[in-house]
Chains A and B, each alone.
Chain A
């Protein structure tokens, strides 16, 4: 550590760290000598990256495959309107380089997968998980446990956030609990929607991502007690916080008493994604071009929109609004004698509505609009707002 030196500019930049007695130049040396891999540069990744770069973490890796979208700007404070359309890792690198020229930023413009996860994780001291779906959460966890890395974790849903530190090396040489000790297996697909489907209040990832950055810095410097062995919960609606104990589970397949998993696995399959449930039979469908042709030719039909009223308020395409939860009791508004096109945001809920109506009321004239209003916006009416 002694060989890590600072320039005059760095000493001035980090002076508010250097004058904290418990932190001082030793803490700053540890930051400069360390490396952190941030997976996902979105709502959690934005504050994480900004604070880690500002704090002087010597080498920061960023993994993301996405491009910046206008709907990101409500919470992803790394980006500005000039970044819309650009690869996130590149926009992030440019922003962080302008914030702190004394650190190294490495970008990995790729999806984090079972094929590259261990190789990526291996190159860094600490991992911070800013991803947004269950398969990747388990992938990040397993790669960290198999490679012996700390996984600083946070996740969010609407108004609720969770944070913890997984797999930290403890003083007795053992590792702290990891994600699989807390949640051995994921919920079935569809129960807990993503932010894209369920929404998220923009400040929430800012709060949780900042807590993550704090825990990364504590892990690196050894200052304070981290969230290892504890799960922090924040509910913004009532402003309540709780901190729960997390214990190791002897049945953990990675590092429990009888480990059975020594490699990464297929995480989509583990999370039940891409495995259609038996009851989800296919429904008749038309695409947006066909619906446009129906409208242009004056073909007799009805359009039912099964989204929620707040979605209808953002964009609509002339359908009769009957939210999915109420279709069964709204059959008086759904004719049986002419074609009925059922539409939602992307086509999944409308297919569900059709199956319910066919099963409960014997409809035979329902067709799904493939791709929903998103496809209509993309191909037919670009004046509509996307969400």
Chain B
């Protein structure tokens, strides 16, 4: 099953859960099942149009899905998928 790593700023929408594990054929399916289990997360991941929001990057391994097949990128059972949000703290 693919592992999805949820970053700290979004864990308040997953009851603190940091890793989401789920069988999924591709990135789109994995994100959809995450959003359906944690509906509060959905508006933070997707725009109203359904596109991923632009302050979020999604990676499979160390590669940005934009450089692969986007949300259609196929997943192997041992793939690690990361959601990387912009953070700004520093002082």
Contacts and interface: CB of A to CB of B under 8 A. Distances in A.
Contact of B91 (A44, A157, A243): A44
A327 interface: no
B64 A247 contact: yes
Contacts of A200: 89
A244 B88 contact: no
B59 A186 contact: no
Interface in A217-250: 231, 233, 235, 237-238, 242-247, 249
B9, B44, B88 — most chain A CB neighbours (10 Å) = B88
Contacts of A76: 91
Given A192-B9, A244-B62, A182 B88 contact: no
What range describes how many residues of B lie at the interface? 20 to 34
Contacts of A186: 55, 86, 88
Nearest to A195: B89
Contacts of B64: 244-247
B57 interface: yes
Interface in B27-72: 44, 53-55, 57, 59, 62-64, 66-67
Contacts of A42: 90-91
B27 to A, nearest CB: 15
A139 to B, nearest CB: 12
B55 A243 contact: no
A158 B53 CA distance: 22
Contact of B85 (A192, A194, A198, A243): A192
Given A182-B57, A244-B64, A40 B8 contact: no
Nearest to A88: B91
A129 B55 contact: no
A344 to B, nearest CB: 17
Nearest to A197: B89
Contacts of B55: 183-187
Interface stretch (A119-127, A130-138, A290-298): A130-138
A41 to B, nearest CB: 8
Interface of B: 7-9, 18, 44, 53-55, 57, 59, 62-64, 66-67, 82, 84-91
25 contacts: A40-B91, A42-B90, A43-B89, A45-B90, A45-B91, A72-B91, A134-B88, A155-B87, A157-B9, A159-B8, A185-B54, A187-B85, A191-B44, A192-B9, A198-B89, A205-B90, A235-B8, A243-B62, A244-B62, A244-B63, A244-B84, A245-B63, A245-B64, A247-B64, A247-B66
